[in-house]
Amino acid sequence: DGGITQSPKYLFRKEGQNVTLSCEQNLNHDAMYWYRQDPGQGLRLIYYSQIVNDFQKGDIAEGYSVSREKKESFPLTVTSAQKNPTAFYLCASREGQFGTGELFFGEGSRLTVL
Amino acid sequence: QKEVEQNSGPLSVPEGAIASLNCTYSDRVSQSFFWYRQYSGKSPELIMSIYSNGDKEDGRFTAQLNKASQYVSLLIRDSQPSDSATYLCAVSHSGYSTLTFGKGTMLLVSP
């Protein structure tokens, strides 16, 4: 079955540590996205990538970094510079670089800073 | 700044009633519109997409789009307790590959 796999589902981090969230898709989609969701809030865009080896900052990129070395993979690193990293992180993909269709979501990764 | 506004709710309806969820957007050249359902602790799942003015029906769900008024709505007929969730409105903008999401409306369907 085609889909998006995020790992880990739950992650605990001590303050000052960097953590990397994995996102892999086998839908052959060009575009991939990372969103953050806080309780009672909508989705806010962190980074997105329309093509391999290229990515763009979203609305809340500070304290995060990404890479897109393969079409299937778009990992997100939450760095120690992110002051409030506890949140639900969602990876998504979309067909075409400038597609008009829907986003497909992974199951999400919940990060808690201890 | 592209904005998508939704009433946060909760919207409470009895089982079997029609639930009406509304969304307004600020970017006049928006081209694609989506309704996602999100259960607590889960990721969003697509309910409906709509691209042109008018109504689009799929089972118990009807999406309505009015580009002149910059308004999109979702009607849920014969609401069921399993419909209780947060409904997110999302808008795609011409020339961009990103979607902007509203904060969502929580729907509660009581038996």
pLDDT per residue of chain A (114 residues) written in tens, 0 to 9: 679 999 999 999 898 899 999 999 999 999 999 999 998 788 999 999 999 999 999 999 999 999 999 999 999 999 998 989 999 999 999 987 776 788 999 999 999 998
Q: Is the pLDDT of residue B1 over 80?
A: no
B79 touches chain A (CB under 8 A): no
Segment holding A64, helix H or strand E: strand A64-66
Query: What 8-state DSSP symbol labels residue A17?
Result: -
| Residues of A in Cβ contact (< 8 Å) with B101 | 35, 42-44
User: Is A40 in the B-facing interface, judged by CB distances under 8 Å?
Assistant: yes
Question: Which chain A residue has its CA at the smallest distance from B93's CA?
Answer: A100
Residue in B43, B92, B98 closest to A106 by CB: B43
Task: Kindly state the average pLDDT of the residues B103-110.
Answer: 96
Number of alpha carbons in the 13 Å side-chain half-sphere of residue B59: 5
Q: How many residues does chain A have?
A: 114
Here the tokens at position B33 are 């519109």
- The C-alpha angle B28, A96, B31, rounded to 5 degrees, equals 15
Q: Which residue reads 């999109």 in tokens?
A: B72
Q: Are the beta carbons of B88 and A94 separated by less than 8 Å?
A: no
Q: How far is B90 from chain A (nearest CA, A)?
A: 9
Helix (H) or strand (E) holding B91: strand B85-93
Instruction: Note the pLDDT of residue A44.
Output: 94
pLDDT value of residue B93: 77
Give how far A104 is from chain B: nearest CA, Å: 8
Whether the Cβ atoms of residue A79 and residue A23 lie closer than 8 Å to each other = no
Q: What is the DSSP letter of A68?
A: -
Contacts of A108 in chain B (CB under 8 A): 42-43
Backbone phi, psi, residue B94, to 5°? -60, 130
Give the nearest partner residue to A90 out of B34, B43, B104, using CB atoms: B43
Q: What average pLDDT score do residues B59-86 get? A: 97
The reported pLDDT for the residue numbered B30 is 82
Pick from A31, A33, A42: which is nearest to B102 by CB? A42
C-alpha to C-alpha distance for A33 and B62, rounded to whole angstroms:
28
Residue A103: what residue type?
L
Q: Does residue B95 surpass a pLDDT of 70?
A: no
B98 pLDDT more than 90: no
pLDDT at B7 > cutoff 70: yes
The b/e string for B75-91 (b: 16+ C-beta within 10 A; e otherwise) is bbeebeeebbbbbbbbb
List the single residue in A with minimal CA-CA distance to B88: A42
Amino acid at A35: Y
CA A43 – CA B99 distance, rounded (Å): 10
B48 pLDDT above the threshold of 70? yes
Q: Answer whether B8 touches A (CB < 8 Å).
A: yes
